[in-house]
Amino acid sequence: DAKTTQPNSMESNEEEPVHLPCNHSTISGTDYIHWYRQLPSQGPEYVIHGLTSNVNNRMASLAIAEDRKSSTLILHRATLRDAAVYYCILRGYDMRFGAGTRLTVKP
Amino acid sequence: SQTIHQWPATLVQPVGSPLSLECTVEGTSNPNLYWYRQAAGRGLQLLFYSIGIGQISSEVPQNLSASRPQDRQFILSSKKLLLSDSGFYLCAWNRGGQETQYFGPGTRLLVL
């Protein structure tokens, strides 16, 4: 199965951009890249997904490398409410979340 | 708009007692439904999924079972809880052919 690798934790200052990386070197040509986040004691929340082209929505942007072996979730201006665990997964029908990246936002 | 409900929000049960967790979805029909468990600080483990009434697929053999008595209702059950059943149980839904899943608020279960 295609696997993703993310840093365990990252820190950011409020109002600054955050770039959350994800490596997925064994991605197949039909795998979509999905990002979810989970706030403490809540269910995961869909953030964004994409296949090849960069994607933008009201929550974030997704930058996908040309070879698709890595991607970056971009939060343009981090807020305290963005503090969460961010998960990068492939094959959205197979929600085998790993440990994700715990994002801390400092005021 | 669609919403997904789970209850109860928290539950403390003794070992050997039965379990029934309920999940309902509003605002859509024929959803795919999923039950996941999340251990503390860990990722998600898919337990069951259903593509229609009475159709249940089990991903992990264990002492839990699932049922879908109505189109938008998904129930997770156990006849006798084990200590290892403690965790955060999440229900999710999506439409057929859609990969993105939408999660409920979860039920935190503590088995003592």
pLDDT tens column, A35-77: 999 998 899 999 999 999 999 999 999 999 999 999 999 999 9
Which of A41, A92, A100 comes nearest B101 by C-beta? A92
Within a 13 Å sphere around the CA of A20, how many CA atoms are in the beta-carbon half? Answer: 36
Radius of gyration over every alpha carbon of chain B, rounded to an integer in angstroms: 13
Q: Which residues of B touch A99 (CB under 8 A)?
A: 41-43
The residue behind tokens 């929600």 is A95
Mean of the pLDDT values across residues B91-112? 92
For residues B3-26, give the mean pLDDT. Answer: 96
The three-state secondary structure class of B52 is: strand
Place of tokens 């156990």: B78
Torsion, CA B82, CA B5, CA A100, CA A49, rounded to 10: 140
Q: What is the pLDDT of residue A92?
A: 62
Q: How far is A49 from chain B (nearest CA, A)?
A: 8
In the predicted model, is pLDDT for residue A3 greater than 70? yes
Structure tokens of A91? 């094959």
Q: Residue B75 pLDDT more than 60?
A: yes
Residues of B whose CB is below 8 A from A32: 99
| Alpha carbon distance A34, B49 (integer Å) | 19
B99 close contact with A: CB closer than 8 A: yes
